[in-house]
Chains A and B, each alone.
Chain A
Amino acid sequence: MIKIKFYSLLRMFLKQNEIEINEDNISVLNLLQKVAEKTNKDLLAELIEAGKLIPGIIILLNGRNIYHLEKLDTIVSNSDKIDIFPPGGGG
């Protein structure tokens, strides 16, 4: 199982803290599509614009930002953990 956790605005949008998807060797983009199907929410519109992750959203794969990996093409394996949140930038 791939465990995907959501925080702050996304947790409110999906109305749930986490979701599990039984997939292996799947890209982050395809995984997010699976989450959208399972939750019946237009998650991709919240996260992606013109094929790219909206700046201001962080997706961590096992604690590492996918921005420094292969971005939305990063491959996720079964038992991996994903955290998604929009960090606060203000002070």
Chain B
Amino acid sequence: MDQFARNIKFWGEEKQALLKESSILIAGMGGLGCTVAENLVRAGIGQLILVDNDIVTETNLNRQILFNQLDIGKSKVIIAQKKLLRINNEIEIITIDRKIESINDFTEIKSNFCGIADCLDNYKSRFILNDVLKDNQFMVHGGVKNDFGQITTIKNGITQNLRQIFGDQKDEIEPGIIPQTVITIGSLMTQEIINNLFGKPQLLNKMLILELSDFSMFKVEMK
């Protein structure tokens, strides 16, 4: 457990053990997914399920921290799995090389994951992802554009779902995204995922909006 000695100094052995027993499904291995995955592995998560059907391209390299030029053309989930196991080879990483187009895309997942990280890049798939959520699970949503982004926690019966919150969203094709925005939002998503795992979510019925341009952070009340 030396790898997590500094974590334990902060949150203690009990919570470190809880993380080891926890499983998170990360949907989308882009800028947000890479950051969330690496943070969770370094935090000590026991199992990750990575879902993405893309290959690494040159335009990914400005922000997707698990990939480099040698990975171009290769499967994102396979490369991510390889890199994450180099950080901690005692964890389990399940890879699903698939685009999220239907709730049926999740039927083969047998693992009882605790929560979902919505790191997708389009609302159609995000809404389908929300349908997968069970009552005993949570979903942390994150989205970014330019130098701003937002995060919230979704829980069935407690919060609105993503369709209710976002309504009629048209997806912008490849919006501007800079590394510091996506890495910051991804890190804040990680914090909220861990808050949920520790039983203290901070963004139930609240949308955190972060604007890097002047370091502004707002919590918008949702009902």
Contacts and interface: CB of A to CB of B under 8 A. Distances in A.
Q: Which 9 A-B pairs have the closest CB atoms?
A: A67-B167, A88-B145, A63-B223, A55-B170, A91-B121, A88-B143, A8-B148, A88-B144, A63-B222
Interface of A: 5, 7-9, 11-12, 55-56, 58, 60, 62-65, 67-68, 81, 83, 85-91
Contacts of B182: 90-91
Given A7-B220, A90-B121, 13 more contacts: A7-B148, A63-B222, A63-B223, A65-B164, A65-B165, A67-B167, A87-B143, A88-B149, A88-B150, A89-B121, A90-B145, A91-B120, A91-B143
Interface of B: 28, 30-33, 119-123, 142-146, 148-150, 160, 164-172, 174-175, 177, 182, 185, 205, 209, 211, 213, 216, 218, 220-223
A90 B177 contact: yes
A56 B170 contact: yes
A91 B167 contact: no
Most-contacted residue by chain B among A5, A60, A65, A91 (CB, 10 A): A91
Contacts of B150: 85, 87-88
Given A91-B30, A91-B31, A91-B144, A65 B167 contact: yes
27 contacts: A5-B218, A7-B148, A7-B211, A9-B148, A55-B168, A55-B169, A56-B169, A58-B165, A63-B220, A63-B221, A63-B222, A64-B222, A64-B223, A65-B166, A65-B167, A83-B220, A86-B145, A87-B145, A87-B169, A88-B148, A88-B150, A88-B175, A89-B122, A90-B144, A90-B175, A91-B33, A91-B182
A88 B123 CA distance: 10
Given A12-B213, A63-B205, A89 B218 contact: no
Contacts of B221: 63, 81
A90 B209 contact: no
B29 to A, nearest CB: 9
B145 A58 contact: no
A89 B223 CA distance: 21
Contact of A89 (B31, B145, B211): B145
